[in-house]
Structure 1
Amino acid sequence: MIRFETVTRIAAPPEAVFDLSLDVDVHTASMADSSERIVGGVGAGRMQLGETVTWRARHFGVPWRMTSRISAYDRPSHFVDEQVAGPFARWVHTHDFAPDEAGQGTVMRDTVEFAAPFGPLGTLAEAAVLGRYMRRLIERRNEHLRELAEAPRPPAS
């Protein structure tokens, strides 16, 4: 099993970053390189506790599906999504949001635990390729979130 953490600093309040992180439309846009799209469950907007979404994507040239459920939810500080069906033997992604030291932004921490299927062959794939690949995927998603959260907003009319 692989476990890694990423920390992303975002110049936006935790509530805004939390809400963007649960928005399936934002997720789809952040995963455009893998042609990720929704094929079941929540079809648009922000997910809530207990809701599921099924994604279809292409990674390493191979199409796959993954259904995940929001299994923990404490706005604006914490949520967890877990695979309930899909390519991994285990997938748990914990999202934590805290105000930064100045109280002006957010420190977003992602903790991902996953295990590939196929026993010893899966363990080799985790070490050789999947660990780095999944970290880069999460980092790319977080950069997309940061850009959206920090984008200037038009004045309210």
Structure 2
Amino acid sequence: MSTIHVTSCIHAPVERIFNLSRSTSLHKAVLRSYKKGTLESRGEGLMNVGDKISFRLSYLGRQRELVTKIDVMEDPKMFVSTLVRGSFRNLRHEHHFKPIENGTLLIDLLEYEPAYGAAGKWADGLLIRSFLKKYLEAKNRLIKQYAEGEKWKVILPEKK
């Protein structure tokens, strides 16, 4: 099992970061800017427990689909998505949100095991790990950009 850990400090309230991290619009924007795939979900808005998200990614010269499901959510502390189907034997992504004095720590813990045995382990060392880490870093940069400015207001629904 491989693990990727990415931590970002964002100068915005924990609730905003938590909700931006669940935004289908934001994830679609990350994939568009990264030019590596598309995302399909039940619709626009915030993902919740039980929601399935389909990522179509291009890596290792092929188009691949990865379907995850949000299994656990503790608003605004964390949520966990796990693999339903795709090019991995296992995948578990924990999203943690810790309020700090000047904002929020966004912590991604991604544990995964590539499929295809020895060939999958070779590809992990060569490409997969780097691809996944860069994607998480790009996602967190975009969350930071939206959260610390005014763009978050376009994506997040207004509280009633």
TM norm. shorter chain > 0.5 = yes
2:91 aligned partner: 91
The runs of 5 or more residues in structure 1 that have no matched partner are: none
Q: How does 1:8-157 map to 2 (within 5 A)?
A: 8-32=8-32, 33-39=34-40, 41-100=41-100, 102=101, 104-152=102-150
**Contact 1:18–1:97 (CA under 8 A) maintained in structure 2:** yes
- Relative to the length of structure 1, the TM-score reads 0.89
Are the structure 2 counterparts of residues 64 and 34 from structure 1 closer, same or farther at C-alpha, using a change threshold of 3 Å?
farther
Counterparts of 1:61 and 1:129, CA distance in 2 = 11
* Alpha-carbon separation, structure 2, partners of 1:133 and 1:37: 15
Q: CA deviation at 1:35?
A: 4.5
Counterpart Cα distance in 1 of 2:57 and 2:130:
18
Distance in 2 of aligned mates of 1:2 and 1:141: 20
Corresponding residue SS for 2:76 = coil
Q: Is the 8 A contact 1:5 1:109 kept in 2?
A: yes
Aligned Cα root-mean-square deviation (Å): 1.6
Task: Give the secondary structure class of the aligned counterpart of 1:43.
Answer: coil
- Runs (5+) with no aligned partner, structure 2: 154-160
CA distance in 2, matches of 1:35, 1:43: 20
| Alignment-mate amino acid for residue 61 of structure 2 | G
Q: Would the alpha carbon gap of residues 43 and 35 (structure 1) be closer, same or farther in structure 2, given more than 3 Å must change?
A: farther
State the shift of 1:25 in Å.
1.0
Q: Identity across aligned pairs (percent)? A: 25
Q: Which amino acid aligns with 2:57?
A: A
Query: Structure 2 length as normaliser, TM-score?
Result: 0.87
User: Deviation digits for residues 23-60 of structure 1, max 9, x if unmatched?
Assistant: 11100101112353234x42211011111122223224
Secondary structure of the residue aligned to 2:131 is helix
CA contact (8 A) 2:60 2:127 kept: no
Give, in angstroms, the shift of residue 115 of structure 1: 1.1
